Structure 1
Amino acid sequence: MAVEIRILTGAELDTVLEDLARLRIAVFRDWPYLYDGSMEYEARYLSRYAGTPGAVIVGAFDGGRLVGAATGEPLEREVIQFRRPFEERGLDLGAIFYLAESVLDPAWRGKGIGHRFFDEREAHARRLGYRQATFCAVIRPDEHPLRPAGYVPLDAFWRKRGYRPLEGAIVHFPWRDIGAQEDTEKPMQVWLRDL
């Protein structure tokens, strides 16, 4: 069972947005995101990639089926919530590439695909001249009632790749949790590394 990794840019991005939307809804429904997504929201949210110069989707395909994807775009093109911590610190947004979502069907985890997602997005950012890469990870309390027993956060994986939390840099971004009636803002820790 082999997966094919494809790097999609420009007009190619449109070819996977609907499948990426479905994958995001399924994967982000689990801990720690607990996201109650809709195709309507996803269509609006993801459409921006197709119109953003420098955006990338690294897709993992089983035959023609998208089983995983990781996205990225220039930080200066991201929504204000993700730009704000960098602007407040006087950092050069034009030097930073934002690694957005990374979603992978559970059946394909543990096969090195997560590393490829980072490798390919970082290589794409370097080709475009970016000097740093960043992403955000949701912060949930340890005592949250939906936290799975034995859950191990990905912090060690990210640190091994050279990422470190940017001290005091917290993004607040809204989405609807499963079982909730409305969107609420979630805190997300900013992680950063030099490329």
Structure 2
Amino acid sequence: MANPVGKLYSTDKSFESPGATMNIVVRQGPEIGPYIDDLARLRIEVFRAFPYLYEGSLDYEQTYLSTYASSPESLFVLAFDGNDVVGVSTGVPMDQETEAFQKPFIEGGWNPARIFYFGESVLLPRYRGQGIGVRFFEEREAYARQLGRFDHCCFCAVERPVDHPLRPADYVPLDIFWNRRGYIHQPQLRTEFSWRDVGEQEESAKPMSFWMKELR
């Protein structure tokens, strides 16, 4: 995928990638189309690790990503190393998400039309710890504020038991990072999604809970 002309944002940070040129690019609505395959590829690769353990398939990705492809206000924040997409962060208005995402909020008395939903942040491991994850959050929050009708941003995360057999000994949850970004866990806002774990033959339901931040 070629680095697009007329990018909206570029980093001024020198990343620890010898000879690499790193750029952050923002694309919205219909502009995200050329990058759907990049997101599918990265989701399959990155989410294979704990805690998602996602045994990805392109069929599932096409169904999942149709929400973003059909939304006029969807957002992709893309990290490029030269011409290669090495990370993607996504967002979409909650009232344009599927029923499974909206249901916990409606039942909890929240208005989905006032919430901007962050779909995922996927970044190849060798690019982590260089500020790109923070930039992903900053760009999505700025976009939600620019749209002008949202009170909160949110995302959901899978819940795995601390004694899960595939939990790496050096695994560090992202809770502290999310708290530093101003996100508060809302364990009462819960849903389930099904996918096939690595090494499993059948899909199984996974508990998910939401984190929220008030936009100011």
Shorter-chain TM-score: which interval? over 0.9
Q: Partner residue of 2:162? A: 142
Equivalent residue letter for 2:192:
H
Deviations 1:122-176 (A, max 9, x none): 1111111211000001100010000000211000000011110114211111111
Q: How does 1:80-159 map to 2 (within 5 A)?
A: 80-129=99-148, 130-159=150-179
Q: How does 1:9-48 map to 2 (within 5 A)?
A: 9-48=28-67
* RMSD over aligned Cα atoms: 1.0
Q: Partner residue of 2:184? A: 164
Q: TM-score, normalised by structure 1?
A: 0.97
> What secondary structure, in the 3-state scheme, does the structure 1 residue paired with 2:88 have?
strand
Cα distance in 2 for partners of 1:66, 1:185 equals 30
For the pair shown, which has the larger CA radius of gyration, 1 or 2?
A: 2
Deviations 1:99-144 (A, max 9, x none): 0111000010000000000000111111112110000011000100
How many residue pairs get aligned? The number is: 195
Deviations 1:44-91 (A, max 9, x none): 221321210211010001112110001110001111121111101111
- Structure 2 unaligned blocks of 5 or more: 1-19
Deviations 1:5-47 (A, max 9, x none): 0011122211111111111000000000000011122122213
Q: TM-score, normalised by structure 2?
A: 0.88
User: Taking every aligned residue pair, what percent have the same amino acid on both sides?
Assistant: 52
Cα distance in 2 for partners of 1:142, 1:89 equals 28
- Structure 1 unaligned blocks of 5 or more: none
Structure 1 stretches of 4+ moved >4 Å: none
